[in-house]
């Protein structure tokens, strides 16, 4: 953090002493006002529910310019990574700060590949779940459960433990997601195949059976790999902040990532891809393109709770760059599968066009986000809707763990402990039960 020459001065209208607050500059993006000494010097907290104006950390991993619609991982634009790199190269970048050269890539791929299997005992743990449980419920349990199986990598303060936990999590997430899918449809688990690439192996574990191999299709593998890249990190979003806060207590990495999985599940966050596809299917069932006007009217009605899922973002006030790439992938996948006339894709494009021209969406700067098209791609690949968020979790694991490790490695880090403005009852006495 570079100190700025400018200082902020906080003054009070009641005449109490004003206070100078230091300002720091990042390499790009808004400066921050350091309020750490505010309470000690003024006895006052700041109030910022939802963290609308609060930077909770400094980070050198991911940068978003929401007004421009720009997303950089370690300085590289998402468009270039999605076009020129694969997911494991992106993981290397997020974890270690640089894209690998060929030798480093080979070593990294080998390292991750060596950890794709999960402890055999985990399948018995999985069998305790109902078959119709939501995959995110199962994943929250399984990821948390990893800490019970890998005791040799649970010390968050040990850099070697953190490194091996990171590799294990990246390597085992596809296996766990595929296992939870197989369990839900009553098919045997399929072991990983280490002669396949990371993403092709995931699709093999999802779609092969003991009696039939799965023929991987390059376009579909590339599409799935791109979904992983686009979801790999997104700076201090709700689930990443959850992972950081959870990890700040010194808990083990698997427990912290399980907290991230739980947070991601919500429909305002990772659950939006599932919600967006369900919304498109609903509109389709109720009359399709003809009924878009009615649907949009409902979204705009102040008294309704209906939202246009896959639209809007806390940070992007412009087109989400991931949504553009996802729409491009959508074309490729539907073409490769001969589904150019897919009604849901047509519906999504019509909905997007109408929303982008509508004053309600324009004035609020609501644009499609990554989830608007990702569901259509996954559905075309054969992924069931209920698994979409688990796939998001698989991809985001590297971002969570990179952010967690960055925090633990920072000598300035402290346990996260927000304050509050208390508005409840002041101290009062308990009355005997007969007098209450």
Is residue 324 involved in binding ligand CMC (CB under 6 A)?
Answer: no
Task: Out of 299, 390, 391, 395, name the contact with ligand CMC by CB under 6 A.
Answer: 299
Is residue 366 involved in binding ligand CMC (CB under 6 A)?
Answer: yes
Phi-psi region of 187 (alpha: psi -120 to 50; beta: other; left: phi over 0): beta
> Which C-beta is closer to ligand CMC: that of 148 or that of 268?
268
Q: Tell the smallest beta-carbon distance from residue 68 to ligand CMC (Å).
A: 17
Q: Tell the smallest beta-carbon distance from residue 309 to ligand CMC (Å).
A: 5
269 annotated active-site = no
Binders of ligand CMC among residues 227 to 266 (CB under 6 A) are 234, 237
Phi-psi region of 242 (alpha: psi -120 to 50; beta: other; left: phi over 0): alpha
Is residue 312 involved in binding ligand CMC (CB under 6 A)?
Answer: yes
**Of 225, 231, 313, 320, which one is the catalytic site residue?**
313
Applying CB under 6 A, the span of 27-35, 269-277, 280-288, 414-422 interacting with ligand CMC comes to: 269-277
Q: Which of 261, 323, 320, 313 is nearest to 137 (CA)?
A: 261
225 annotated active-site = no
Work out the burial of residue 417: count CB atoms within 10 Å of its CB; fewer than 13 is exposed, 13-18 middle, 19 or more buried. exposed
Task: Out of 310, 321, 375, 399, name the contact with ligand CMC by CB under 6 A.
Answer: 310
> Which C-beta is closer to ligand CMC: that of 221 or that of 323?
323
Main-chain phi, psi angles of 22, to 5 degrees: -65, 150
> Which C-beta is closer to ligand CMC: that of 44 or that of 314?
314
Is residue 270 involved in binding ligand CMC (CB under 6 A)?
Answer: yes
Binders of ligand CMC among residues 40 to 69 (CB under 6 A) are none
Task: Out of 44, 115, 314, 346, name the contact with ligand CMC by CB under 6 A.
Answer: 314
- Which residues are designated catalytic? 313, 371
Residues at the interface with ligand CMC (CB under 6 A): 234, 237, 268-270, 272, 299, 307-314, 364, 366, 369-371
């Amino acid at each position: 953090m570079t100190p700025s020459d400018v200082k902020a001065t906080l003054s009070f209208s009641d005449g109490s002493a004003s206070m100078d607050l230091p300002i720091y500059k990042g390499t790009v993006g808004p400066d921050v006002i350091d309020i750490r000494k505010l309470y000690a010097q003024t006895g006052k907290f700041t109030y910022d529910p939802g963290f609308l104006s609060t930077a909770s950390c400094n980070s050198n991993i991911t940068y978003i310019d929401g007004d421009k619609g720009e997303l950089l991982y370690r300085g590289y634009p998402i468009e270039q990574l999605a076009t020129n790199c694969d997911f494991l190269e992106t993981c290397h970048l997020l974890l270690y700060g640089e894209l690998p050269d060929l030798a480093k890539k080979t070593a990294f791929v080998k390292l991750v590949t060596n950890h794709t299997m999960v402890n055999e005992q985990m399948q018995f743990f999985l069998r305790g779940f109902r078959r119709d449980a939501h995959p995110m419920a199962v994943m929250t349990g399984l990821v948390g459960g990893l800490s019970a199986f890998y005791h040799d990598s649970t010390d968050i303060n040990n850099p070697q433990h953190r490194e091996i936990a990171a590799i294990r999590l990246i390597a085992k997430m596809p296996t766990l997601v595929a296992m939870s899918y197989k369990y839900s449809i009553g098919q045997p688990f399929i072991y990983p195949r280490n002669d396949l690439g990371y993403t092709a192996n995931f699709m093999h574990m999802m779609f092969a059976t003991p009696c039939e191999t799965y023929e991987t299709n390059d376009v579909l593998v590339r599409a799935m790999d791109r979904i992983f890249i686009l979801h790999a990190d997104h700076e201090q979003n709700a689930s990443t902040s959850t992972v950081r806060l959870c990890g700040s207590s010194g808990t083990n990495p698997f427990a912290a990532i399980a907290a991230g999985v739980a947070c991601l599940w919500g429909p305002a966050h990772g659950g939006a891809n599932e919600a967006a596809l369900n919304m498109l299917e609903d509109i389709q069932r109720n009359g399709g393109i003809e009924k878009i006007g009615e649907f949009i009217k409902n979204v705009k009605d102040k008294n309704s709770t209906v939202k246009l899922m896959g639209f809007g973002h806390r940070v992007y006030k412009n087109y989400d760059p991931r949504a553009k790439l996802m729409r491009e992938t959508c074309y490729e996948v539907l073409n490769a599968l001969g589904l150019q006339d897919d009604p849901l894709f047509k519906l999504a494009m019509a909905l997007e066009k109408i929303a982008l021209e509508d004053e309600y969406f324009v004035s609020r700067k609501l644009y499609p986000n990554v989830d608007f098209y990702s569901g259509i791609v996954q559905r075309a690949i054969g992924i069931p809707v209920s698994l979409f968020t688990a796939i998001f979790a698989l991809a985001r694991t590297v971002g969570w763990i990179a952010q967690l490790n960055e925090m633990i490695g920072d000598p300035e880090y402290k346990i996260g402990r927000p304050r509050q403005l208390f508005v409840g009852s002041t101290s009062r006495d308990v009355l005997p039960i007969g007098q209450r």
